[in-house]
Amino acid sequence: MAVDLDRCTGCEACVTACHAENNIPTVGDTQAARGRALHWMRVERYWEGEFPDVRLKFRPVMCQQCDAAPCEPVCPTYAAHHTDEGLNAQVYNRCIGTRYCANACPYNVRFFNFFNPSWDKPLHLQLNPDVSVREVGVMEKCTFCVQRIKAAEVQAKAEDRSLKDGELKPACAQACPATALVFGDLNDPESEVSRLSRSPRGTKLLDDQGTQPKVTYLQRQSSE
């Protein structure tokens, strides 16, 4: 994934799209006030300077899909693990809720289910049948919409072809009106995401932590 901060407007379409796609529950005001709201995708904002010379910068943050993911080795049950495709996956059935992984992740993108999720009926009819609902005691986080990746792979296989670049998008990238979020195959040097990742504007979040994140942030430019 590449995130072009010069395109991102902070519109947060990605945030709600992620809720809709991934069956992320809302927790309500009391729990939200305790820091228990779940947002696999969030838009961080940073103030710089003082009035009137202030700047406000946005940064969409989701799981960075680290190649050297600190969340993985600390998990006693291998719930947090690396897949063959290089995704950092979370097997909900294995998770016993130690929350070590959440402590280990420097990006604060792992969310714990402090209680069973609930949807006031009939809001539950919206739930996506392709994504399992997580129960109390389980850690969850952005999966790069693995269900969409799988569906596109199956489709391509059925048509006896390989996936086209840009054919498959996680819900956030699908929604993003400014095309700030670009998803694709980093192993293919010709893909759009590879091209963007080589941009001189490219940076990684908390690069010095040695996590080798797979998400590249392209810095916002300035006209001054």
CA atoms within 13 A of residue 154's CA, in its CB half-sphere: 6
Q: Which of residues 102-131 bind ligand SF4 (CB under 6 A)?
A: 105, 107, 109-110
Tokens of 202: 């490219």
* Cα 180 from Cα 182, distance rounded (Å): 6
Identify which of residues 158 and 187 has a Cβ nearer to another protein in the complex: 158
* Cα 165 from Cα 162, distance rounded (Å): 9
Q: Which of residues 142-171 bind another protein (CB under 8 A)?
A: 147, 150-151, 154-155, 157-159, 171
Stretch that binds another protein, among 35-43, 66-74, 76-84, 183-191 (CB under 8 A): 35-43
Stretch that binds another protein, among 54-62, 66-74, 77-85, 137-145 (CB under 8 A): 54-62
* Cα 73 from Cα 151, distance rounded (Å): 29
**What secondary structure letter does DSSP report for 76?**
T
DSSP string, 173-186: HHH-TT--EE---T
Choose among ligand SF4, another protein, none what residue 181 binds, the Cβ cut-off being 5 to 8 Å by kind: ligand SF4
Mapping DSSP to helix (H, G, I), strand (E, B) and coil, where does residue 63 land?
A: coil
Least distance between ligand SF4 and beta carbon 96 (Å): 17
Q: Counting contacts by CB under 6 A, is residue 12 touching ligand SF4?
A: yes
Q: Which of residues 82-141 bind another protein (CB under 8 A)?
A: 91-93, 106, 108, 120-130, 132
Q: Which of residues 129-158 bind ligand SF4 (CB under 6 A)?
A: 141
Among 1, 2, 24, 66, binds ligand SF4 (CB under 6 A): 66
Query: 213 and 204 in contact (C-beta within 8 Å)?
Result: yes
Burial annotation 118-135 (CB, 10 A radius, 16+ → b, else e): eeeeeeeeebeeebebbe
Among 37, 43, 89, 186, binds ligand SF4 (CB under 6 A): 43
* Cα 40 from Cα 18, distance rounded (Å): 7
Q: Counting contacts by CB under 8 A, is residue 210 touching another protein?
A: no
Among 63, 95, 139, 196, binds ligand SF4 (CB under 6 A): 63
Least distance between another protein and beta carbon 123 (Å): 5
φ, ψ dihedrals at 50, nearest 5° = -125, 155
